[in-house]
Structure 1
Amino acid sequence: MEHQAISISINGAQLHLYNIYIPPPTSCPPGFSPSLTPLLELDTHNTIIMGDFKAHNPAWYSTTQDDREAARGTALINQIDSSQYILLNQDTPTRLLSQGAPSSPDLTLISPHLALDAVWTPLARLNSDHLPISISLDSLNPPNNHPTCTYINFRQADWEGYTANTETAFSAAAHPSSCSQAEILFRRILTLAARRHIPHGCRRDFIPNLPPSLSFKSMTEPEPWTPTTPAYRTSTTISQPPFPLTPT
């Protein structure tokens, strides 16, 4: 069994990541049964354990015709159930073969307090039959009391210019050497064209369906030159001519 471990600091909190790889049973000595117990008994504070375990079990929605990989999956799920870690896998495969049924040999285990808001998502397939997996952890991010809302105005977009820009860029681009390079190039061209031809930005104190002229600031400020404003009182006092204190 191979493993790697790193610790990263996120907003002052330490997140511990363990990458695990267990070779298939055909590459292991006869009777070999991997044990995760020493790893699962470590401190579970801010820890993620993930990797290719070459094991299958209905607990992570993965089946196999290989009895040895099924037996390994049964042993692993018993070890996981005896620990405090939470299995994040959903009913989505993590491996797509060109021939054969999809499966999920890749597991993700996480500390129980992090599992409350963790989002586990397999991403698009690139140049491997194993799908990249994204894990979002909102609990490690400080609360944003003033979120920035960016709005995109598709109604006023210059779609003709957008189409012409992207077609020209695709025609001039060199042929990518791999699927991952093609994905990066495709996304870059679309992003640059969108910035140029689709209006976008952020309006402070934005209220839906309210014109910019009726902003929150203009609604809360008093109208100038009214009897209740200091400017009005000052101007009327200064503009009044002095009167004699005694009659003539």
Structure 2
Amino acid sequence: MELAEQIDDSTFCTMNDKAPTRVMGTCNSSPDNIIASGGLINSLTWRPILTLASDHLPIIISIEKPPDFVSVDNRTFSNFNKANWVGFTESTESTFNALPIHPNVCGGERRFRKVIAAATARFIPAGRIAEIRPNFPAEAAADPGDPQIRDLN
């Protein structure tokens, strides 16, 4: 009951219908919940697949992309203009100063890369554009990391 209330209070929907996802003798039930965002619900289909190996049926979920979506290369973009260079510098310097000197070059280089990678992930915005929509204004696209997203939802 609590799960149903949480789903009702959110922007998500359930996809379950009367199709059973567990078959045991003459008892059929649907203990599995398929939940999707409201924006995707009309593009998704799901169906349990009958198998002989288990009483829990595998579920196939398919998504059909809208025809106006265009795929782009799977590349990550770093936004160095929006990087917090002061935070990056302070974080790396304090971490480097706290580390003991490693006895060999390979281990030291590995630690160096880990410190730089952690600071990069924290202070330099990055992401990828998985799908683009032609004629969709860039101003309308939201940054998923924007703190206002939670308020808007």
TM-score, normalization: structure 2?
Answer: 0.41
Structure number with higher relative contact order (C-alpha < 8 Å, ≥ 6 residues apart): 2
For the pair shown, the structure with the greater C-alpha radius of gyration is 1
TM-score, normalization: structure 1?
Answer: 0.26
